[in-house]
Amino acid sequence: MENIKSFTLKELKELVENLNWPEYSAYQIFQWLWQKKVNDFSLMSNLSKLKREYLKNNYIITELKIIGNKKAKDGTEKFLFELYDNNKVETVFIPEEKRKTVCVSSQIGCPLKCLFCNSGKISFKRNLYFYEICDQILMIEKKLNIKPTNIVFMGIGEPLLNLEEVLKAIQVITSPIGFGISARKITISTAGIVEGIYRLAEIKKKVKLAISLNATKDEIREYLMPINKKYPISEILKACEYYWQKKRERITFEYVLIRDINDSEEDAYSLSRILKKIPCKINLIPFNSFPSISFQPPSLKRIEKFMKILVEANYTVTLRKSHGQEILAGCGQLAYQNY
Ligand code: SF4
């Protein structure tokens, strides 16, 4: 039987139309699934008994199964979920004073194999469907009894390589009868899939774009991120300029600082030069170590120097405080390990 969650609102409308049900039945079903989070047709009390029976006899409602869960001292919690086909997906919940962020995965494994990222070590299996992305948020809401304020596509996978499903997920996340989270509270982080950036520039929703840049010279970026061979820095920056022209939304450039690889003063000056034409914010992320890699974060002094150069060049710079490092839930650490 088909999973009713695999229907977008538009598809639910088509479904009820074919059944000669009124259109509002589609809204009711959607709301029960994503806002009220029920997993049983019999609880959909504003649908007639006959309709509930029909749905029950023809469709199923799936949920992710929590098979691992670990909490760090700072409250960050990571979850390992099992999907219907036994694949696994990992999601992180980050509670902060003013924000409750869910960091979702968009693929099973990641095909991009960035050297500084543990997720790149897991072999890529498939893209996640939109409802599997939404179910990560739903399960965390249910399990922790919280209402997330922010959603970041920064878990395992490259969201712009799964853009159709990510966009469908965004519809559910932003819908007032779905999760009801504003598009401005959603960040999509990409390794720089140029076509995806152009496509995102055309959508109406004002989601935030973050580019994982990490180097200012192609040879270093190629070493850290092999995808740079296909999408060199100049092409990514051109796409970002276009994005800015279309959306007038500041882009965030993420820069993972790795000792003796990309953390020199020259790198900082070069970064300030290449981003000049793009209104942006720079997010520095000291490398989070994980087993099987010898990279190290720079010393605090070096990080401060790097930051100072950018601040003096008038950039807004943030130093990302990593969450849940000791449980391998920090940036670039996810790899279905340590449960
Ligand atoms: S940094 Fe992102 S794109 Fe690169 S391997 Fe990790 S998950 Fe994939």
Give me the CATH number covering residue 53.
Answer: 1.10.150.530
Of 60, 84, 100, the position where a domain reaches its end is 60
Q: Quick one: CA dihedral 81, 83, 86, 87, positive or negative? A: negative
pLDDT in tens, the chain (339 residues): 999 999 999 999 999 999 999 999 999 999 999 999 999 999 999 999 999 999 999 999 999 999 999 999 999 999 999 999 999 999 999 999 999 999 999 999 999 999 988 887 888 999 999 999 999 999 999 999 999 999 999 999 999 999 999 999 999 999 999 999 999 999 999 999 999 999 999 999 999 999 999 999 999 999 999 999 999 999 999 999 999 999 999 999 999 999 999 999 999 999 999 999 999 999 999 998 877 788 999 999 999 999 999 999 999 999 987 777 777 777 777 777 777
The domain of 31 spans 2-60
Same domain, 39 and 121: no
What pTM did the predictor assign? 0.95
- For residue 244, the CA-to-ligand 1 centroid distance in Å is 24
With 0-12 / 13-18 / 19 or more C-beta atoms within 10 angstroms meaning exposed / middle / buried, residue 205 is middle
One domain, residues 79 and 180: yes
- Looking at the fold, whether 19 and 119 belong to one and the same domain comes out as no
Residue 137 C-alpha to ligand 1 middle, in angstroms? Answer: 20
Ligand 1 pocket member 211 (CB < 6 A) = no
Residues 155 and 189 grouped into a single domain: yes
Q: Which atom of ligand 1 is nearest to the CA of 155?
A: 7
Cα–Cα distance for residue pair 31/172, rounded to 1 Å:
10
Contact yes or no for 104/152 (Cβ under 8 A): yes
**Is 9 among the domain residues?**
yes
- Among residues 60, 75, 99, the one where a domain terminates is 60
Tokens of 275: 């981003």
Answer yes or no: is 272 within a domain: yes
Contacts 24+ apart (CB under 8 A), 75-79: 76/323, 76/324, 76/327, 76/329, 77/144, 77/324, 77/329, 78/324, 78/327, 78/328, 78/329, 78/334, 79/136, 79/139, 79/140, 79/143
Q: Are 9 and 130 in contact (CB under 8 A)?
A: no
